[in-house]
Amino acid sequence: MEDPALADLFAQDVVLMRLVGMNPVVVHGGGPQISDLMRRLGKEPEFVDGLRVTDAETVDIVRMALVGKVNREIVASVNRHGSYAVGLSGEDAGLITVKARDERLGFVGDVRRIDPSILARLIREELIPVVATVGVDETGQAYNVNADTVAAAIASALGAEKLVYLTDVTGLYERWPDETSLVSR
């Protein structure tokens, strides 16, 4: 979320959900922040079929941007309204296990397994997990993972009643980025 006022309203809403007995889990990406950090470090972002090519250097940048910056900012924003948020990434406690998607993309992964046990423990303690979407393969290699896909997989693994997406695109597409494939309902 680029707008600080919007981010603050989002944080307030997340805390309110917790206070009324709901169990929110925040799952985030950070594409613009990754691209910005890449450029600041002298590396131009590259995409194939809308997905970021993630070589070894880029996966470190992804981790810095998602875990070190975006996650910390969301946690801090939520905690300004009550000390409820705990930041983690898919690398923590075996949360997100992935498999490589496509050789051309490098370290871009598809969710293979979600272990929701750490999230369930945090929820039982009335905390709000904030998850950065970096996953690992079976060897421990970090991968960049699509946040929308991770959010759906985590919601499914937790048996969530609802899944809410906040995004800056028009809606859900059957064949992104084909704008004629926008799902109408």
Give residue 166's pLDDT.
Answer: 86
Q: How far apart, in Å, are the Cα atoms of 3 and each of 48, 101, 122, 129?
A: 28, 32, 28, 22
32 alpha-carbon distance from chain centroid: 13
27, β-bridge pairs: 131
pLDDT at 117 exceeding the cut of 80: yes
Task: Express each pLDDT in 138-183 by its tens digit.
Answer: 999 999 999 999 999 999 999 999 999 887 777 778 887 788 888 8
Q: What is the pTM of this model?
A: 0.91
First to last CA, the chain: 25
Give residue 165's pLDDT.
Answer: 87
What is the three-class DSSP state of 34? helix
Structure tokens at 74: 């969301």
Contacting residues for 10 by C-beta, under 8 A, at least 6 apart: 1, 77, 166
Instruction: List the domains of the chain with CATH numbers.
Output: 4-181 (3.40.1160.10)
Task: Express each pLDDT in 13-62 by its tens digit.
Answer: 999 999 999 999 999 999 999 999 999 999 999 999 889 999 999 999 99
Contacting residues for 107 by C-beta, under 8 A, at least 6 apart: 54, 55, 56, 58, 59, 100, 141, 142, 143, 144
> What stretch of H or E contains 113?
strand 108-114
> What stretch of H or E contains 150?
helix 147-158
Q: What is the CA radius of gyration of the chain?
A: 16
